[in-house]
């Protein structure tokens, strides 16, 4: 039953994909009417104006270009033109660094908030105000105070991924079943030991869910942040190709951003499954 | 290409640090110095060569300039600089006395080295200028530099200097870094991530005055391009060529502190439209302009080129007028650096300025333009189709309405930072409410636009610099007198009421 369900789902997926490609192909194939123009004038104009070609590339163009990129993902033509592999590497490194910093701050702090109702109440107003701020709104402030665009981008990743982790950790720690804590208490387990052997395992699934949400947000934000600060990264690539109005490359970048985002999410999902326990 | 020997290598720039410290030798004396007061210890230069490239400085205009310089000079500084010059003369005379034959002098200097020669001479004569004269000629304090740019053809000299080797020629290893927008390039230059960068001509003035940023003294040693912008309208407006029909339209400009903003406002106001109330002006980064025009979010823009031509190339817009038709010879973008960098690394800055001036001179020649278009088109630089860049740079372009037009001066390159340009920009900043209250036009212009230094660099490189740093010009037929900015400002009927 499950295999046949999986099989049928796969068929539907493929059919949807083919339908999408087909519609895309048809939609971009048509040529609009073109005003007559002298040959010397036409020589100076782009294909959209001379042949009425759609400004949107078709699937075959995107495929060909994608193949071109995949063939040499690590070329380096100077500071402003690097292969997609290098650009993705930069982005992932930035996300990784900002995210790790966030983990180092959010989890201990979340523990503290979860275990101490006093601190929880005291910090609550700050968290409530800071949490909804769009991470990109921090960018001008970061650039101004940190005075380094690379670190500013990492800071933006940090600030956007810290909140879901913090809140989830606090929530997970606070909602550990009272019975377990009481049992630990009757057995006279020390605070530290209690935190590591009882609370941490019990709260781990919630904490990891928070981490999973965070990595998703961090990956969303890095693209926008890199479009702003430029230099390197997949976000810069999108911006640079947008500059050249090269929709083909932008589509390729979108595709790759999606795939990398999915992979990051899958990694965290696996970790979550590892720490989940049946009650 | 530019093989003219520089008569004095370090002397000029060493002098400059003096000037920056407040000691300003007058231009008259400087003019003389360039011949008689040559560095006598420079083995590459002939002592007997009088009236070389520098001879041209002794003109009446130069005298005017000197007079101005004198007015701001302190008496002491004048004495100071005179003293220095005399010392140079002494050394020069001494060398000549010791080595009447040019070849012998050069051979001597080459074999023992300039510092040994100086040490030997100092035993007989107290030469206090020794350190200045012999400071390692032009060795940059910092060789690996980062220069930011925005991918538009205005940045041509800054960009092309990398692939065509102008930076390397002047002993520098420069990374030109593409940047996302004017605010970012400003912040990155202020943060010292960039040593110098491409900026819109009014930006260094605005930064120095603290408009839209914290005030930090910036300076412009060279203008990048003159002309080279255009008003592009959406194709659907092809019958609305009269600006009087433009009421209610939405226009994009690249930045608030841009020539584009001032030129578009000027143009609209001359046609009786108040740019603040009759139309909408939006600050849009150049790369987004074509997309916005296609999406019908804006009706047109006054934008830097290749953006205008790109809109035509993609069939979404047409060229209404070139910015040249508003003001022929207007500046657009500049090459700017902070005062801190200039005083901190004067030799690097000097080498950078030479490279830029050199590249600008190269770009100003029509026959080089095709090669330049190819050099700056790849993704590492402007990232645009070569056809588009060629049309901009060669001036033979499709106008978007089916015609091919030719205007060799559509964009041109001239490095000289006319201080009158700065004064004009200040009048417009005041006119549109960006500057509130009084401003000392001349002082700001002279602080930010380093005409004297550029003059020197151009002369050293065998180019012909203009004799004054103020010139009058006319914008849409109206003459601007840089000596009377307030009167000029008062003559406009349409302006922002503050």
CATH code, B314: 3.40.190.10
Whether B233 and B321 map to the same domain: the answer is yes
Range of the domain at A38: 1-56
Note the pLDDT tens digit of each residue in A12-32: 999 999 999 999 988 887 666
Q: Residue A228 has what pLDDT?
A: 80
Helix residue spans in A116-199 (DSSP H): 117-130, 138-146, 149-174, 178-186, 191-194
Nearest residue on chain B to A45, judged by CA atoms? B313
Does residue B496 belong to any structural domain of this protein?
A: no
Does residue B2 belong to any structural domain of this protein?
A: no
Whether A8 and A121 map to the same domain: the answer is no
Which residues are CB-neighbours of A145 under 8 A, at least 6 positions away? none
Count of structural domains within chain A: 2
CATH code, A135: 1.10.3720.10
B10, B133 Cβ separation under 8 angstroms: yes
Does residue B5 belong to any structural domain of this protein?
A: no
Which residues are CB-neighbours of B155 under 8 A, at least 6 positions away? B149, B198, B224, B333, B382
Whether B315 and B390 map to the same domain: the answer is no
Span A148-174, average pLDDT: 91
Nearest residue on chain A to B385, judged by CA atoms? A244
Whether B288 and B312 map to the same domain: the answer is yes
The pTM score is: 0.74
Whether B412 and B485 map to the same domain: the answer is yes
A134: left (phi over 0), alpha (psi -120 to 50) or beta: beta
Q: How far is A192 from chain B (nearest CA, A)?
A: 45
Note the pLDDT tens digit of each residue in A183-198: 988 998 888 888 888 8
Q: Residue B111 has what pLDDT?
A: 63
Whether A51 and A90 map to the same domain: the answer is no
A80, B176: Cβ pair inside 8 Å?
Answer: yes
Whether B107 and B175 map to the same domain: the answer is no
Nearest-angstrom CA–CA distance, B401 and B404? 9
Whether A86 and A7 map to the same domain: the answer is no
Please name the residue that has the structure tokens 């970061």.
Answer: A142
Using a CB-CB cut-off of 8 Å, the residues of chain B touching A230 are: 177-180, 184
Radius of gyration of chain A measured on its C-alpha atoms:
25
Using a CB-CB cut-off of 8 Å, the residues of chain A touching B193 are: 147-149
Whether A157 and A203 map to the same domain: the answer is yes
Q: Residue B42 has what pLDDT?
A: 52
How does the average pLDDT of chain A come out, rounded?
88
β-pairing verdict for B250-253 and B280-283 = parallel
Q: Residue B492 has what pLDDT?
A: 92
Q: Residue B94 has what pLDDT?
A: 55
Structure tokens at B463: 């180019």
Whether A149 and A253 map to the same domain: the answer is yes
Q: Residue B287 has what pLDDT?
A: 76
Residue A132's Cβ-count burial label (10 Å; 0-12, 13-18, 19+) is exposed
Out of B88, B115, B138, a domain closes at B138
A229, B383: Cβ pair inside 8 Å?
Answer: no
Whether B313 and B438 map to the same domain: the answer is no
Whether B338 and B459 map to the same domain: the answer is yes
Using a CB-CB cut-off of 8 Å, the residues of chain A touching B186 are: none
Out of B299, B325, B351, a domain closes at B325
Whether A198 and A148 map to the same domain: the answer is yes
Does residue B206 belong to any structural domain of this protein?
A: yes
- Residue A141 — pLDDT band, cuts 50, 70, 90? confident
pLDDT string in tens for chain B (498-residue length): 444 444 444 444 434 433 444 334 443 343 333 333 445 455 544 444 343 343 444 444 444 444 444 333 333 344 444 444 444 544 555 565 556 566 666 666 666 665 566 555 555 444 433 333 333 346 888 889 999 999 999 999 999 999 999 999 888 999 999 888 888 898 889 888 999 999 999 999 999 998 876 789 999 999 999 999 999 999 999 899 999 999 999 999 999 999 999 999 999 999 999 999 999 999 988 878 888 898 899 999 999 988 999 999 988 999 999 999 999 999 999 999 999 998 888 889 988 998 999 899 899 888 999 999 999 998 889 888 999 999 999 999 999 888 899 998 999 998 899 999 999 999 999 999 999 888 899 999 988 998 888 888 888 888 888 888 899 898 998 999 999 999 999 999 988 876
Range of the domain at B55: 14-138
Q: Residue B48 has what pLDDT?
A: 40
Whether A48 and A103 map to the same domain: the answer is no
Whether A40 and A141 map to the same domain: the answer is no
Facing A243 at nearest CB: one of B183, B287, B378: B287
Count of structural domains within chain B: 3
Helix residue spans in A30-83 (DSSP H): 39-43, 47-50, 59-71
Q: Residue B284 has what pLDDT?
A: 87
Structure tokens at B406: 């030719």
B178, A80: Cβ pair inside 8 Å?
Answer: yes
Which of A:143-162 have CB within 8 Å of B? 143-144, 147-149
Which residues are CB-neighbours of B368 under 8 A, at least 6 positions away? B362
Whether A176 and A116 map to the same domain: the answer is yes
Whether B369 and B383 map to the same domain: the answer is yes
Q: How far is A107 from chain B (nearest CA, A)?
A: 33
A231, B175: Cβ pair inside 8 Å?
Answer: no
ipTM of the complex: 0.77
Whether B208 and B355 map to the same domain: the answer is yes
Does residue B498 belong to any structural domain of this protein?
A: no
Report angle CA A136, A140, A141 to the nearest 5 degrees: 100
Out of B325, B344, B377, a domain closes at B325
Whether A19 and A104 map to the same domain: the answer is no
What's the per-residue H, E or C state across B156-195?
A: HHHHHCCCCCHHHHCCCEEEEEECCCHHHHHHHHHCCCCC
Whether B389 and B444 map to the same domain: the answer is yes
Which of A:216-275 have CB within 8 Å of B? 227-231, 236, 239-245
Span A205-216, average pLDDT: 93
Whether B107 and B21 map to the same domain: the answer is yes
| Interface with chain A: mutation pick from B294, B308, B380, highest number of A CBs within 10 Å | B380
Share of chain A above pLDDT 90, in %: 40
Whether the CB of B238 is below 8 Å from some CB of chain A: the reply is no
Whether A101 and A31 map to the same domain: the answer is no
Whether A20 and A107 map to the same domain: the answer is no
Residue B3's Cβ-count burial label (10 Å; 0-12, 13-18, 19+) is exposed
Whether B221 and B243 map to the same domain: the answer is no
How many CB atoms within 10 Å of residue B170?
22
């Amino acid at each position: 039953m499950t295999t046949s369900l999986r099989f049928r789902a796969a068929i539907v997926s493929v059919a949807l994909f083919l339908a999408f490609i087909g519609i895309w192909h048809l939609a971009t194939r048509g040529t609009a009417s073109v005003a007559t123009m002298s040959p010397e004038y036409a020589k100076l104009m782009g294909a959209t104006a001379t042949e009425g070609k759609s400004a949107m590339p078709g699937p075959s163009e995107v495929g060909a270009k994608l193949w071109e990129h995949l063939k040499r993902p690590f070329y380096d033509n100077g500071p402003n033109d690097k292969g997609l592999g290098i650009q993705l590497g930069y982005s992932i490194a930035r996300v990784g660094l900002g995210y790790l910093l966030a983990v180092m701050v959010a989890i201990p702090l979340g523990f503290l908030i979860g275990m101490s109702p006093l601190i929880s109440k005291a910090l609550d107003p700050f968290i409530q105000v800071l949490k909804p701020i769009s991470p990109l709104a921090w960018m001008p402030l970061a650039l101004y105070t940190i005075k380094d665009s690379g670190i500013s981008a990492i800071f933006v990743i940090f600030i956007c991924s810290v909140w879901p982790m913090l809140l989830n950790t606090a929530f997970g720690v606070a909602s550990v079943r009272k019975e377990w804590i009481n049992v630990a208490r009757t057995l006279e387990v020390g605070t530290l030991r209690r935190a590591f052997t009882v609370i941490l395992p019990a709260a781990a699934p919630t904490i990891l869910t928070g981490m999973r949400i965070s990595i998703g947000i961090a990956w969303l934000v890095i693209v926008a942040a890199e479009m702003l600060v430029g230099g390197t990264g997949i976000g810069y690539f999108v911006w640079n190709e947008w500059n050249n109005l090269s929709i083909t490359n932008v589509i390729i970048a979108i595709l790759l951003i999606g795939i990398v985002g999915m992979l990051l999410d899958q990694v965290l999902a696996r970790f979550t499954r590892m720490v989940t326990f049946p009650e | 290409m530019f093989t003219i020997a520089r008569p004095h290598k370090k002397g000029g720039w060493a002098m400059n640090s003096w000037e920056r410290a407040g000691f300003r030798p007058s231009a008259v004396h400087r003019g003389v110095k360039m011949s008689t007061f040559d560095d006598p210890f420079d083995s590459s230069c002939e002592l007997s060569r009088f009236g070389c490239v520098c001879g041209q400085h002794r003109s009446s205009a130069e005298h005017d300039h000197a007079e101005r310089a004198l007015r701001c000079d302190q008496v002491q500084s004048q004495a100071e600089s005179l003293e220095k010059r005399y010392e140079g003369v002494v050394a020069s005379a001494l060398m000549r006395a010791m080595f009447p034959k040019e070849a012998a002098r050069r051979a001597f200097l080459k074999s023992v080295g300039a510092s040994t020669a100086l040490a030997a001479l100092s035993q007989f004569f107290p030469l206090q200028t020794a350190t200045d004269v012999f400071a390692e000629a032009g060795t940059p304090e910092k060789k690996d530099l980062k220069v930011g740019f925005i991918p538009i053809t205005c940045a041509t000299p800054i960009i092309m200097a990398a692939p065509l080797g102008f930076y390397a020629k002047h002993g520098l290893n420069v990374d030109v870094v593409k940047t996302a927008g004017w605010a970012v390039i400003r912040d990155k230059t202020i943060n010292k991530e960039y040593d110098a960068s491409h900026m819109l001509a009014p930006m260094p003035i605005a930064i120095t005055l603290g408009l839209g940023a914290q005030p930090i003294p910036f300076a412009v040693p060279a203008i990048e391009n003159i002309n080279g912008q255009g008003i592009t309208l959406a194709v659907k407006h092809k019958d609305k060529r009269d600006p009087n029909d433009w009421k209610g339209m939405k226009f994009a400009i690249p930045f608030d502190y841009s020539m584009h903003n001032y030129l578009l406002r000027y143009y609209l106001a001359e046609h009786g439209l108040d740019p603040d109330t009759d139309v909408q002006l939006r600050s849009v980064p150049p790369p987004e302009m074509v997309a916005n025009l296609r999406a019908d979010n804006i009706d047109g823009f006054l934008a830097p080129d290749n953006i205008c031509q790109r809109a035509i190339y993609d069939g979404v817009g047409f060229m209404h007028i070139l910015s040249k038709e508003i003001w022929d010879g207007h500046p657009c973008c500049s090459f700017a650096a902070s005062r801190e960098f200039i005083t901190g690394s004067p030799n690097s800055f000097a080498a950078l300025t030479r490279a830029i001036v050199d590249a600008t001179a190269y770009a100003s020649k029509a026959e080089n333009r095709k090669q330049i278009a190819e050099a700056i088109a790849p993704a590492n630089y402007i990232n645009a189709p070569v056809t588009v860049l060629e049309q901009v740079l060669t001036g033979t372009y499709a106008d978007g309405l089916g015609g091919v037009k030719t205007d060799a001066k559509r964009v041109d390159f001239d490095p000289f930072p006319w201080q009158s340009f700065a004064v004009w920009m200040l009048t417009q900043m005041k006119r549109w409410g960006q500057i509130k209250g009084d401003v000392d036009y001349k002082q700001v212009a002279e602080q930010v636009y380093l005409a004297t230094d550029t003059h020197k660099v151009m002369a050293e490189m065998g180019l012909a610099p203009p004799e004054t740093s103020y010139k009058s010009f006319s914008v849409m037929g109206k003459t601007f007198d840089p000596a009377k900015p307030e009167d000029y400002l008062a003559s406009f009927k349409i302006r922002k009421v503050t």
